[in-house]
Amino acid sequence: MSTDLLQRGKQIKLAVFDVDGVLTDGRLYFLEDGSEFKTFNTLDGQGIKMLMAAGVQTAIISGRKTPVVERRAKNLGIPHLYQGREDKLVVLDELLAQLNLSYEQVAYLGDDLPDLPVIRRVGLGMAVANAASFVRENAHGITLARGGEGAAREFCELILLAQGRLDAANAAYL
């Protein structure tokens, strides 16, 4: 764990997640009736709950819009959900104004081109292990886990560890 990542993680008050390729494995599943389903990792969900219990606010910003993501956010208690919004930096600006936070207080986990402007701008911009190469090259750090396979949990534990709310010996992925 780099000291730079831990230093960046200390000031985080808001953790923001992309969905497809980050909270899921990035595959889209369509049934014959046109409905869609996604699979989520329970380890990631627990990590998000741990962050919120520690006082870190959470949000999801996704370019796609599906009822499944709305259900997952509600199930986890994520208060800020933005779907169908391609320009994620504009959404983040709206959210920061609402919460009275600065970019330096934000951590973001993404995997592809729409995530890049946010990753470059926030205090802790991270990419999942299987993110597009140009995203990994611009991120402050890269998770060991792939999207949908515990990357979000690793991201959450990094923030908790940096803020002294998790002992390294108890971190599942670090």
Binding residues for substrate: 20
Binding-site positions: 18, 20, 111
CB contact at 8 A, 154 and 46: no
Distances (CA, A) of 106 to 26, 82, 118, 163, 170: 23, 16, 10, 14, 24
The whole-angstrom separation of Cα 99 and Cα 96 is 5
Binding-site positions for Mg(2+): 18, 111
> Of 111, 64, 120, 67, which is closest to residue 89 (Cα–Cα)?
120
